[in-house]
Copies of this chain bind each other. A is one copy, B any other.
Amino acid sequence: MRIGELARRGGTTTRALRYYESLGLLPARRGANGQREYDEDDLRLVHEIRSLTGIGFALEDTRPFVQCLRDGHTTGDACAASVEVYRRKLAELDDCITRLDAVRDQVRAQLREAEQRSKPCGR
């Protein structure tokens, strides 16, 4: 299939696919006319990339997963490098959530205080 179909079926755009190729993430074979030619395996790679970036993974973080699939594994996370990314991301998420929780509490407290001051009168 050509790039337009791959984009449609992969839930993305041709621009994104060319961008992935420019990063070496999604290399493409070329037909006699110079147009990019893709197959079902490529569609799997696109799905892997999209599902990972969809939950907040950076494109570079998807690289091990994509490589893993290209190496013939049935899932992108069957390789050690991918699992390592999982671990790192999990740690990042924990950190992030912890910080956001703290900020939320802080903002909540400030909000309560500000509302308190604005209605100092009884009732």
Contact = CB atoms under 8 A, between A and B. Distances in A.
A91 to B, nearest CB: 10
Contacts of A87: 111
Q: How large is the interface on A (under 10, 10 to 19, 20 to 34, 35 or more residues)?
A: 20 to 34
Given A96-B100, A97-B97, A100-B100, A90 B114 contact: no
Report whether over half of chain A's contact residues are helix, strand or loop; otherwise say mixed: helix
Given A55-B106, A78-B117, A106-B55, A83 B100 contact: no
Contact of A83 (B75, B77, B118): B118
Interface in A61-88: 75, 77-78, 80, 82-83, 86-87
Given A90-B108, A93-B104, A100-B96, A114 B78 contact: yes
